[in-house]
Structure 1
Amino acid sequence: MGSGTYGGCWCAKSLDPWLDRRLTHLYDPPMSYQPRFAITPALLSRVEAIAALRERIRSATVQVAWIPSLQKDSRARNAHSSTAIEGNPLTLEEVRALEDNQELVPSSTRARREVLNYFAALRHIEKNATKKRLVHEDLFRLHSIMAGQVMDQGEAGTYRKIRVRVGPHVPPLPDEVSGLMFELLEWWNTESVALSPVLSSAILHYRFENIHPFADGNGRTGRALALWELYRRGFDSNHIFSVDEFFWEDRPRYYTALQEVRINGDDLTSWLEYNAEGLQLTLERVWQRIQQLNAAKGDAKLVLRPKQEQLLNMLRIRGGLSPREIREGLGVSKQGAMDTLNPLLEAGLIERVGTLKNGRYVLK
């Protein structure tokens, strides 16, 4: 099966194409940050199972009419789970209500703001999902969105200037943060692409949390960065995975898994196995939800044309569009817009709201 060599010496044929690229090649980046890990049989088995599940899901979702439902569900689950890990008291149903702009029973302003910030951060990541190179300013922007108006200490969008402690972990000194983040960004922009996104997203997640570059909001931001990696590598091209749900369901294990890396001298092997388990479980749940939706809707399917996929993505990001905005966004005539809209309306994916004169189309 897999080799125990640190850095990932691939010694067996894998179902995952990113593993195949590194067959018999020692991962040894020429920079200060070098993640240390072993490819164990258990890890390799999970990565291969994830690859098979992902292909099954991709083959199903390109033809089905319920992608927007899964996307909306995933956003709510990610927002709820990641904020709940940090102590946010809102339930999943309350988070769903916030996304739909519904009034909530009395709850703290901070709790609502944290969730709304997370939704905004997800939209930001989705808009920039294809960005190939990320720099410090990208992290500052994401953190500003994520932590704005909810910081207990420090300033949103700037690296910390204070020393911090996270349970038993004492992150690097403030003066070291910028240099360590530069090294991490260089690794992320260069060497990480040689690894499976299953591995690179987990490595990024851990290293960010270990550096703890901001005074507050690092947990939510680090998990969002791991999700960004899955998006920009095309692993979750439809944005329907919610790995944070796995972390939330057993928070003590999540924190233990992070600490175990430090106890083992920054050996990431156990952390990669833990994350691969979570991603495999996430994909299994997505497949189950697909099956349930398919059963509920019968055999009727809608083959989404490129313009329809583009429109659904526009609505998901912007929330609602006027007929004119749709025509301009798609670059089509009035008739072309209606040809795109009508099948989506009939399938119940979108609906028109508002007056006849000022109506807008939104996801249903």
Structure 2
Amino acid sequence: MAYEPQFTISTRLLSLVEEIAMLRERIQGAAVALSWIPALQKDTRTRNGHASTAIEGNPLTLEQVRALEEGRELAAADQRSSREVLNYFAGLRYVEKNAQKKKIRHEDIFELHRLLADTVMDQGEAGRYRTIAVRVGRHVPPPAADVSALMFELLEWWNTKSTELSPVLSSAILHYQFEHIHPFADGNGRTGRALGLWELYRRGFDSHHIFSVDEYYWEDRPGYYRALNAVRLAGEDVSGWLEYCAAGLHQTLERTWLRVQTFSRQTPEKVVLRPRQEQLLKLLSDHGSMAPAELWEALGVSRQGAMDLLRPLLKAGMIEKIGGKKTGRYSLKKS
């Protein structure tokens, strides 16, 4: 039996989706011409990592999470709290790396969960659907024997029918239905929110990866859980949930626009990023630092071609060269 979400599009939801589209266009239009994208991506990654783990009770502050993102050790933090955050960063990198993937399989969900839940599960096994019954507050998820079939139906919908909807709606539906199935013994909240983000990336909604919607859920944690539970009380009609998620995304984009303006005022040198330069910045973000030869090989350009891409970024203060003339490596400039 195919999964078919139940919902109606209210006037409020339609208005939110339209306002979200206008905000997104404004942000994306500014982002392609400004040089602070890597700094804003780093800030967004930190905020997502902090918020999504804090929802589950992780006690680390935003500044502590920022320190972990920068590779610094925390003296007073317990190992599990740090590991949860580091796992979430690994999960985000996996989502970013697979943002263009056309078809999502069970194995992709397993790998994402394994990255997010490795060594921090209270029960069950990371990267494997649960074999036990679970309870989440008042919600009793489907029996373990039904999980695989329900996930098959959800993935089938995600890979086909979801594209008929705005990503604002499809990401929210995916998020809810995953939490309803609760396919793993532990770590479902972080995984479900990461899947919602994956859908936004996959559909090109957040092409620069600078939106941190998990902050909204964390700051409104009681409302977040009420909205999830309200779907069950409404007989699995997700209309109210769609409005809640759209309101959250709208607030997220309003905040992002303010951050865009703040970052742009702090950067006197502006650069219009070419596609190859965006690819170069992504390589440095993924690898930390790279030697010149590694860069031009990965980009598929000549040494001179690589230097033509690098010089404007160096001048704008977006990247820096560390080390000597022969042993130097390029990396994103630390803010």
Same fold at TM > 0.5: yes
Cα deviation for residue 244 of structure 1 reads: 0.2
- 1:56 maps to 2:26: yes
Give, in whole Å, the separation in 1 of the partners of 2:99 and 2:331.
Answer: 22
Mapping for residues 43-192 of structure 1, pairs under 5 Å: 43-192=13-162
Match of 2:234 in 1: 264
SS in 1 for 2:208: coil
Give, in whole Å, the separation in 2 of the partners of 1:249 and 1:142.
Answer: 25
Give, in whole Å, the separation in 1 of the partners of 2:306 and 2:322.
Answer: 17
Mapping for residues 192-341 of structure 1, pairs under 5 Å: 192-298=162-268, 300-341=269-310
Higher relative contact order (CA 8 A, sep 6+): 2
Deviates more, 1:342-351 or 1:213-222: 342-351
Amino acid at match of 1:107: A
Cα deviation for residue 135 of structure 1 reads: 0.9
Cα deviation for residue 338 of structure 1 reads: 1.5
Match of 1:353 in 2: 322
Cα deviation for residue 356 of structure 1 reads: 4.3
SS in 1 for 2:330: strand
Q: With structure 1 as the length reference, what TM-score do the two structures score? A: 0.90
Q: With structure 2 as the length reference, what TM-score do the two structures score? A: 0.97
Quick one: percent identity of the two aligned structures?
A: 66
Which of the residues 37, 45, 53 maps onto 2:7? 37
Give, in whole Å, the separation in 2 of the partners of 1:311 and 1:205.
Answer: 32
Give, in whole Å, the separation in 2 of the partners of 1:356 and 1:82.
Answer: 42
Amino acid at match of 1:207: Q
Cα deviation for residue 158 of structure 1 reads: 0.4
Structure 1 gap segments, 5+ residues each: 1-30
- Number of equivalenced pairs: 333
Amino acid at match of 1:275: C
Q: Deviations over 1:205-262 (max 9, x none)?
A: 0000000000000000000000000000000011000000000001111000100000
Give, in whole Å, the separation in 1 of the partners of 2:131 and 2:323.
Answer: 49
Cα deviation for residue 332 of structure 1 reads: 1.6
Give, in whole Å, the separation in 1 of the partners of 2:293 and 2:136.
Answer: 50
SS in 1 for 2:321: strand
**CA-atom RMSD in angstroms:** 1.0
Give, in whole Å, the separation in 2 of the partners of 1:161 and 1:103.
Answer: 36
Give, in whole Å, the separation in 2 of the partners of 1:290 and 1:130.
Answer: 25
Preserved CA contact (<8 Å) 1:126 1:317: no
Preserved CA contact (<8 Å) 2:35 2:267: no
Deviates more, 1:330-339 or 1:179-188: 330-339
Preserved CA contact (<8 Å) 1:177 1:211: yes
Deviates more, 1:103-112 or 1:75-84: 103-112
Q: Deviations over 1:11-68 (max 9, x none)?
A: xxxxxxxxxxxxxxxxxxxx53110011000000000000000111111111110111
CA change 1:354–1:117 in 2 (3 A) is farther
Cα deviation for residue 305 of structure 1 reads: 1.6
Give, in whole Å, the separation in 2 of the partners of 1:359 and 1:224.
Answer: 36
Give, in whole Å, the separation in 1 of the partners of 2:69 and 2:324.
Answer: 22
Give, in whole Å, the separation in 1 of the partners of 2:332 and 2:264.
Answer: 19
